[in-house]
Amino acid sequence: MELHAALVERWLRDYLCAFGFELHPLQVGWYNTVLQPSFHLAYPDSTLAFVVLSTPSMFDKAFKPFVSKQLLLKRIRDPVDQCISHHLSLVKEHFPDEKVHIIYDYEMLPNRKPKFLAQTAAHVSGAAYYYQRKDVKCDPWGEKKIYGVCIHPQYGGWFAIRAILIFPEIQVPFLEQYAPIDCVTTEEKRIQLLEKFNFHWQDWSYRDIIEVKERYSEEQKTYFATPPAERFKLLGLQG
Ligand code: GSH
């Protein structure tokens, strides 16, 4: 990686890791090349981008402190999304001379398609392996629609893909691409994973398909298992 890009990456890593985020660099071309044109990101192939993930510790390191500050201001509608955009906006401010485009995982195009396919971006950046129906040779699902899911080598399914940061003015033609770690290797486990994710996702079990280094705390699980409109009570706010 050229020096400027390396310095950008170092700063991002130092800043975001302290808040429980993880980031993985990629060239926009790696992403575009595996997708149909309607999903392409309109940048030259060698443009530098980063996939941003939240790890289990984001909840304590970023989310709770963010909420307790915002509580005083009482301007909070989407606490999780606002916490993430708060930190990523600070990233933008840190690079005033640099163009930084941010696309969040929940952003939609007018045709209701997502602005970027987060799991594909995570896979091509090497962050987490995207297991799909095509990764299973003999599948038992017939006509059913089966969604794929990313598994992280350290956190299993206990993480979330939050955004892609694009630096349109930084080109990294020599960036090395690492394949994601294939941690769910057997046919049997892959079937189990897709089965659990598609039909039992609410019991959290797909997230433990591999042994993990860290998972969500009971507090964090309760928070995410509660419908968003009722979470304000958990945070000590009126709904
Ligand atoms: N928009 C609401 C907020 O900003 O508070 C809800 C956000 C939300 O709950 N997002 C889910 C999440 O973060 C979907 S990405 N889940 C964590 C996980 O599934 O690991």
Is ipTM strictly over 0.95? yes
pLDDT digits (tens, 9 = 90+) for 46-68: 999 999 999 999 999 999 999 98
What is the side-by-side order of every strand in the sheet holding 21-27? 21-27, 47-54, 160-171, 101-104
Q: Is the pLDDT of residue 69 over 90?
A: no
pLDDT class of 238 with cuts at 50, 70, 90: low
Mean pLDDT of the chain: 95
Q: Which atom of ligand 1 is nearest to the CA of 81?
A: 4
Q: What are the φ/ψ torsions at residue 182 (nearest 5 degrees)?
A: -85, 95
pLDDT at 153: 98
- Structure-block tokens of residue 24: 């993985």
Q: Tell me, what DSSP letter sits at residue 120?
A: H
pLDDT digits (tens, 9 = 90+) for 82-126: 999 999 999 999 999 999 999 999 999 999 999 999 999 999 999
d(CA 138, CA 158): 27
pLDDT digits (tens, 9 = 90+) for 201-228: 999 999 999 999 999 999 999 999 999 9
Q: How many angstroms does the Cα of residue 33 sit away from the middle of ligand 1?
A: 29
Residue nearest to atom 11 of ligand 1 (CA): 224
Secondary structure element (H or E) that encloses residue 184, with its range: none
Q: Which residues line ligand 1 (CB under 6 A)?
A: 78-81, 160, 224, 228
Q: How many angstroms does the Cα of residue 234 sit away from the middle of ligand 1?
A: 15
